[in-house]
């Protein structure tokens, strides 16, 4: 019997007097939920069949053990009962009715059992267990993605791609020395947790509530003012577990995030930059505040060791995404860890073409005062190539549509403008251009950001095209 025929039969039965339903729409939803359990890959049907086989074997064993006597009398009694039924209702009517009643009891029993399990595992009742199992299966089959960056840009990206894959590794810079993270770094000696906090919140299932909690900043309390709860949480976990890597891993389990968040290095890294006017600026926050043209950027110590798990994630990756984020203080600091840059280059420009994987750089929409004033798309690419000393990606994603006049005026007051796409220069650098519209503009404030969902969709569609055309 085909699935469609069974569905039609169930719909007819649900409209009859055997079952009182609220509406046809409710009936269809119930049927749809039942048949989701037949989807391949859930590892449900095989265990149900195994249970049925166990019942049959148990019955066979009892029959052999008792010499078939109970079976004989049971079958004779059943024969007499069925003969009596067919004298009242013809077999061509009573047979299908009894079969259908049996199927109904099976579906009803399974549905009630699953509902009982769901109430325990998902108390809120907002999501069906089968939907969660299907989503879990789909996400676990998603590509292994390594996203490299920091700041709000990386968390924006993660918020979108977590709906396409659970195999995500976010590699985050630990060079931040401003705000709450900087204070904790100076006073307690921990690596700055701010960017990691943002990424953990973005990858968490209960993202809205956790984001509010992790981003909450204390407004009162001696020594607490200005600190975010998430930074204090990660700092405490670092003290308990011994280092930031273990703290992030433990926090990830507590928050049930999709994927993993890893610091680029466990070394205490400090950024420095040489400006066009000859100044040498120390410290990530000071670089932006200096408002000069950056001609060279580096870090102290010069060659920090990469976290081994980061190198492993890159080695196993199917897809590498660099950015978005502040060019010199969020994206490039990860690439100053030479082992990371080397690992990416080996996966994206390997002599063995079959080992090459897609890699893309998500360029910022607007220039950033103090870092990329007057920069074009090609300038962003050159800066990454020079800092890494290697070519790490072959495609750049660029926002095509300009922000509104209101947003342009607002940003112009801060000496910020849309990043100009100089196509010829980009092509001369050997890069392909993925021109798309993935911008979100807050109409009230005029702020321009990448739209998480649109950006993720474009990136995954591009990945699929590259993968199947390879």
| Residue 127 pLDDT exceeds 70 | no
| Residue 375 pLDDT exceeds 50 | yes
Sign of the C-alpha dihedral computed for residues 73, 76, 82 and 84 taken in this order: negative
| Residue 55 pLDDT exceeds 70 | yes
Q: Extract the tokens encoding 282.
A: 């120390």
Closest-CA residue to 438 (of 403, 470, 392): 403
3-state SS record for 326-350: CHHHHHHHHHCCHHHHHHHHHHHCC
Question: Is the pLDDT higher at 146 or at 64?
Answer: 146
| Residue 470 pLDDT exceeds 90 | no
Q: What are phi and psi of 204, to 5 degrees?
A: -70, 150
What average pLDDT does range 256-283 have in this prediction? 92
What is 286-340 written as a DSSP string?
HHHHH---EEEEEEESSSPPBPHHHHHHHHH-SEEEE--S-IIIIIHHHHTSHHH
| b (16+ CB within 10 A) / e for 141-177 | ebbbbbbbbbbbbbbbbbbbbbbbbbbbbbbbbbbbb
Q: DSSP secondary-structure letter at 224?
A: T
Residue 450: enclosing H or E segment and its boundaries? strand 448-450
| Residue 130 pLDDT exceeds 70 | no
Domain limits, the chain: 68-108, 144-173+264-469
Query: What is the Cα–Cα distance from 259 to 204, expressed in whole angstroms?
Result: 9
Highest mean pLDDT among 82-86, 182-186, 239-243: 239-243
Give strand pairing partners of 271: 299
pLDDT in the model for residue 205: 77
What is 372-393 written as a DSSP string?
STT-BHHHHHHHHHHHHSS---
| Residue 318 pLDDT exceeds 50 | yes
446: left (phi over 0), alpha (psi -120 to 50) or beta: left
| 35-43, long-range: CB < 8 A, 24+ apart | 35/3, 35/7, 36/128, 36/130, 36/131, 36/134, 37/110, 37/114, 37/130, 38/3, 39/130, 39/134, 41/137, 42/130, 42/133, 42/134, 42/137
Closest-CA residue to 419 (of 326, 333, 301): 326
What average pLDDT does range 324-338 have in this prediction? 95
**Residue that the structure tokens 């011994």 belong to:** 242
- To the nearest whole number, what is the mean pLDDT of the chain? 82
Q: DSSP secondary-structure letter at 429?
A: T
| Residue 446 pLDDT exceeds 90 | no
Residue 83: enclosing H or E segment and its boundaries? helix 69-88
Least confident of 106-120, 142-156, 339-353, 443-457: 106-120
pLDDT in the model for residue 330: 93
Closest-CA residue to 143 (of 393, 395, 470, 463): 463
- Asked whether 238 and 190 are in contact (CB, 8 A), the reply is yes
- Asked whether 400 and 326 are in contact (CB, 8 A), the reply is no
The CATH number given to 144-173+264-469 is 3.40.50.10680
| Residue 239 pLDDT exceeds 50 | yes
Kindly report the pTM of this predicted structure.
0.76
Query: What is the Cα–Cα distance from 48 to 213, expressed in whole angstroms?
Result: 42
């Amino acid at each position: 019997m085909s699935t469609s025929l069974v569905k039609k039969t169930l719909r007819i039965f649900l409209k009859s007097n055997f079952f009182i339903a609220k509406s046809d729409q409710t009936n269809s939803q119930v049927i749809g939920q039942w048949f989701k359990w037949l989807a391949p890959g859930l590892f449900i049907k095989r265990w149900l069949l195994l249970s049925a086989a166990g019942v049959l074997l148990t019955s066979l064993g009892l029959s052999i053990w008792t010499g078939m006597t109970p079976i004989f009398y049971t079958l004779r009694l059943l024969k007499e009962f069925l003969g009596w039924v067919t004298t009242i209702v013809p077999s061509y009517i009573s047979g299908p009715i009894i079969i259908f009643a049996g199927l109904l009891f099976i579906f009803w029993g399974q549905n009630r059992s699953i509902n009982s399990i769901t109430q325990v595992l998902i108390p809120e009742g907002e999501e069906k267990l089968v939907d969660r199992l299907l989503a879990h299966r789909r996400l676990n089959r998603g590509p292994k993605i390594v996203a490299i960056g920091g700041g709000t840009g990386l968390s924006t990206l993660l918020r979108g791609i977590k709906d396409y894959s659970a195999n995500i590794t976010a590699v985050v810079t630990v060079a931040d020395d401003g705000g709450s993270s900087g204070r904790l770094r100076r006073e307690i000696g921990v690596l700055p947790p701010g960017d990691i906090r943002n990424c953990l919140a973005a990858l968490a299932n209960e993202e809205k509530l956790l984001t509010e909690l992790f981003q909450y900043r204390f407004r009162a309390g001696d020594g607490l003012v200005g600190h975010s709860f998430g930074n204090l949480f990660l700092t405490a976990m670092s003290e308990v577990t011994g280092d930031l890597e273990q703290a992030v891993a433990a926090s990830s389990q507590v928050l049930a995030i999709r994927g993993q968040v890893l610091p680029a290095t466990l070394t205490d890294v400090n950024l420095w930059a040489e400006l066009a006017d000859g100044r040498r600026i120390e410290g990530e926050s000071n670089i932006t505040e200096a408002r000069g043209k950056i001609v060279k950027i580096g870090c102290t110590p010069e060659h920090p060791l990469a976290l081994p798990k980061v190198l492993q994630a890159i080695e196993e990756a199917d897809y590498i995404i660099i950015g978005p984020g502040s060019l010199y203080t969020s994206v490039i600091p990860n690439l100053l860890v030479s082992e990371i840059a080397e690992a990416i280059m080996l996966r994206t420009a390997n002599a063995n073409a079959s080992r090459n994987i897609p890699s893309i750089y998500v360029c910022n929409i607007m220039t950033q005062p103090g870092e990329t004033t007057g920069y074009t798309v090609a300038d962003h690419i050159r800066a990454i190539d020079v800092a890494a000393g290697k070519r790490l990606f072959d495609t750049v994603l660029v926002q095509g549509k300009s922000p509104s006049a209101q947003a342009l005026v607002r940003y112009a007051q801060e000496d910020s403008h849309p990043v100009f796409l100089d196509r010829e220069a980009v092509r001369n650098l050997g890069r392909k251009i993925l021109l798309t519209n993935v911008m979100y503009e807050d109409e009230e404030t005029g702020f321009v950001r990448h739209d998480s969902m649109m950006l993720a969709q474009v990136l995954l569609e591009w990945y699929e095209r590259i993968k199947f055309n390879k």
